[in-house]
């Protein structure tokens, strides 16, 4: 009987030794971590007061605590913004504290913008100043001196953006934080063309190879219309997008077509912006 008891004692000793080693290692890791740890809370009511608007950590996940609940943050850049810009010091939660707190919806940039609107409006201004933006590919604005100046027509966007600079996508909420400025109405004089009949023009058109020179696999524009050019054929783009505008900029910008090019080049079947993006690859 003595021998089995000795074996049991030895096994128990090894188990205790292993547990101690694990706890010791855990303690050392805790000491290396500068984040303050919350080990317990007396009640949810106290948590709502003490933890309000704090950045909390559980294992490798980050949460923003507000409205008496935990809101998971999945965007690493947003976590960095809360730490670097808002000065939120991450605080670790014990498993018991985490289990005691209710979970809410994810915390996103939209929530952040609502919580820090003044700071955000300044950052939007700096980010898009002197640039054209759109939230729906139909309404376009020029950001200037922290004000949004709306274009009345897309024709005015083209006339104003004569150098084909990229246009940027912006959320409707971001745009709403900027006050309105004077609308932009471009003069049509800069886009006037010679009043020559199409028949007369077609009589003296150069060869197609000359008309489409340097246009292959390019996005082009003629007034309000956009075209993708491939093998000297103009493919009308049905839903020109900001994403396509930016991609076209990377490939040399949107090229303005002349009347001669529009009249002399064959027009193909209409394509979508998504199809054009695929053809770029």
Reported pTM:
0.38
Position 246 scores a pLDDT of: 72
Q: Distance from first CA to last CA of the chain, Å, rounded? A: 79
Per-residue pLDDT at 252 exceeds 70: yes
For residue 213, give Cα distances in angstroms to 72, 217, 226, 254, 263: 54, 11, 17, 15, 15
- What is the CATH classification number for the domain harbouring 157? 3.30.2390
Give residue 55's pLDDT band: very low, low, confident or very high (50, 70, 90). very high
Three-state DSSP at 133 gives strand
**Mean pLDDT, residues 270-274 taken together:** 90
Domain C-terminal end among 133, 155, 188: 188
Q: What values do phi and psi take at 155, rounded to 5? A: -55, -40
Domain C-terminal end among 112, 132, 147: 112
Per-residue pLDDT at 37 exceeds 90: no
Position 271 scores a pLDDT of: 92
pLDDT, tens digit (0-9, with 9 covering 90-100), for 22-33: 433 333 223 324
Name the residue range of residue 170's domain: 117-188
- Of 131, 144, 137, 139, nearest to 179 by C-alpha is 144
Give residue 133's pLDDT band: very low, low, confident or very high (50, 70, 90). very high
Q: How many helices (H) and strands (E) does the chain have?
A: 13, 14
Three-state DSSP at 244 gives helix
Number of domain units in the chain: 3
Q: Is residue 11 domain-resident? A: no
Domain C-terminal end among 159, 188, 217: 188
Paired strand residues for 20 = none
């Amino acid at each position: 009987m003595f021998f089995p008891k000795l074996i049991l004692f030895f096994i128990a000793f090894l188990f205790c030794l292993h547990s101690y080693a694990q706890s010791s290692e855990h303690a050392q890791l805790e000491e290396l971590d500068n984040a303050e740890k919350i080990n317990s809370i007396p009640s949810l009511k106290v948590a709502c007061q003490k933890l309000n608007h704090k950045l909390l950590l559980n294992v490798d996940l980050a949460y923003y605590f507000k409205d008496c609940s935990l809101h998971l943050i999945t965007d690493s850049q947003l976590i960095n913004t809360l730490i670097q810009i808002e000065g939120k010091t991450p605080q670790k939660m014990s498993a018991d504290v985490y289990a005691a707190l209710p979970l809410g919806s994810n915390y996103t940039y939209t929530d952040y913008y609502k919580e820090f609107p003044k700071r955000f409006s300044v950052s939007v201004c700096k980010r898009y100043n002197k640039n054209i933006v759109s939230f729906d590919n139909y309404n376009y604005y020029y950001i200037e001196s922290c004000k949004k100046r709306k274009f009345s027509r897309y024709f005015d966007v083209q006339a104003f953006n004569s150098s084909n600079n990229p246009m940027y996508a912006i959320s409707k909420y971001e745009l709403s934080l900027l006050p309105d400025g004077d609308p932009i109405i471009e003069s049509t004089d800069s886009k006037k063309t010679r009043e020559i009949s199409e028949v007369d023009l077609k009589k003296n058109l150069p060869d197609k190879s000359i008309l489409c020179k340097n246009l292959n696999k390019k996005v082009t524009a003629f007034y309000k219309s956009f075209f993708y050019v491939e093998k000297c054929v103009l493919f009308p783009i049905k839903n020109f997008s900001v994403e396509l505008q930016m991609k076209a900029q990377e490939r040399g910008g949107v090229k303005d077509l002349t009347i001669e090019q529009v009249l002399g080049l064959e027009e193909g079947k209409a394509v979508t912006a998504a199809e054009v993006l695929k053809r770029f690859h």
